[in-house]
Amino acid sequence: MALVHERMNRGRTQMGWLDSFHTFSFGGFHDPTRMGLRNLRVINEDRVIPGAGFGKHDHAHMDILTYVLSGTLRHEDSMGNGAEIHPGEVQLMSAGPGVTHSEMNASDTAPVHFLQIWLIPDRQIDVPTYESVQVDGEANKNRFGLIAGPDGSQSGVKLLSDTRVYLAQLKDLHSLSHSFDPDHAGFLHVIAGQVDIDGETLFAGDALQFENRSGCTITAQSDADLLLFDLP
């Protein structure tokens, strides 16, 4: 079964410094049909004006992935980490029993545009952890390249669940398939471009969730960037 999450039905938070779209219920946006899928709880698409951002706040027992699309994001946390995250980098903070962090636009002149993704872990850790990796662009061209998973690697960060997150950058008219393990669910989020899947045409900001499927095939109708979640 497949369910389309249309971009125009996403929640939205707008304030002076932030313009944020919520694929799933978040903050003041509540939709009982959009409460996440399996352990995928949040996909927020955020745009932050120069010099602003999310000040210090707390998290616990959550894997938080950040993927920058344009601009530069400055991360600081109570573990002593400080880093600037650029396009093509993926950041993971596993909050463990608790962590305080901030995510700010590192520029005084240019906005920053990024995705923040929350995944509920199924394994607990005693102290929070942090890591960031540069995505291997060649590994994602016209194929799904792993950027986050249970084992970690040079091309991906290590999650505290059996979830796998893939990035694909497809050229126009290229088709790509993915097979799922038994009992796993899938969630496809279109970052940019236009794709066809299951007779549906999806654009940037659209998403498709599906269960009880052995796999899926996606065809790009323009150059397209995609995230695919393989969820236990």
What structural domains and CATH numbers belong to the chain? Answer: 10-137 (2.60.120.10), 140-231 (2.60.120.10)
The residues with which 116 forms a beta bridge, in sequence order, are 44, 66
Contact predicate 209/185, CB 8 Å: yes
Which has the closest alpha carbon to 114: 13, 216, 44?
A: 44
140: enclosing H helix or E strand: helix 137-140
Neighbours of 1 (CB within 10 A): 8
Which string of b and e fits 177-195 if b means at least 16 CB within 10 Å? ebebeeebbbbbbbbebbb
Phi, psi (deg, nearest 5) at residue 60: -150, 145
CB 104 within 8 A of CB 54: yes
Tens place of pLDDT per residue across the chain (232 aa): 588 999 999 999 999 999 999 999 999 999 999 999 999 999 999 999 999 999 999 999 999 999 999 999 999 999 999 999 999 999 999 999 999 999 999 999 999 999 999 999 999 999 999 999 999 888 899 999 999 999 876 679 999 999 999 999 999 999 999 999 999 999 999 999 999 998 899 999 999 999 999 999 999 999 999 999 999 9
Assess contact for 101 and 75: CB atoms under 8 A: yes
pLDDT of 154: 64
**DSSP classification of residue 159:** P
- What lies within 8 Å, CB to CB, of 91 at 6+ separation is 65, 66, 67, 75, 83, 85, 130, 131, 132, 157
